[in-house]
Amino acid sequence: MAKDKVPSTPALLALRAAKVPFEIHQYQYVDKGGTRVSAEALGVDEHAVIKTIVLETSDKKPLICLMHGDRQISTKQLARVLGEKTVTPCDPTVAHRHTGYQVGGTSPFGTRKALPVYVEKSILELERIYINGGGRGLLVAISPAVLTTLVQATPVEVATE
């Protein structure tokens, strides 16, 4: 993908409409490469690369959890925090139906349906984060404060090493 050809995605449109300052970073997407590949390509700490995971409760209610690239979500702890029996990752087809994004390109901004968003609390303490801009190989650098102001992300502590 040429550096000067930035795709227009619902996420980028949502950020622009909200007048959020952001920088676009593109890299060569690698299937199943995860945040390690994007962090290496951008030369940033994987801890600052934030993954957007679409999950669902036992009664199939979808939600988004934002997590550091070098950490995992404890779905048991998240279920406890939410007062749910279980929370599990959505099937990619179901996640696409809820968000409008492909797995590997999911952003919490500009989703097809408004979903509750939860963010690992320590993400909000970072100076700058790199989060998906709505396409594979497309990250945006933003202030983490945008997560609570634009998508009303609720801070949680559900990370595991």
pLDDT at 1: 42
Both tokens of 141, joined, read 């650098």
- pTM equals 0.94
Both tokens of 29, joined, read 């997407």
Nearest-angstrom CA–CA distance, 140 and 98: 21
Beta strands 138-142 and 129-135, pairing class: antiparallel
Q: What does pLDDT average to over the chain?
A: 95
CA-only gyration radius of the chain, Å:
15
Domains of the chain: 10-160 (3.90.960.10)
3-state secondary structure of 29: coil
pLDDT in tens, 22-65: 999 999 999 989 999 999 999 999 999 999 999 999 999 999 99
Contact residues for 102 (Cβ-Cβ < 8 A; gap 6+): 92, 96, 136
pLDDT at 7: 75
pLDDT at 6: 67
Both tokens of 155, joined, read 């801070």
CA dist list (Å): 108 to 56, 80, 150 = 15, 22, 10
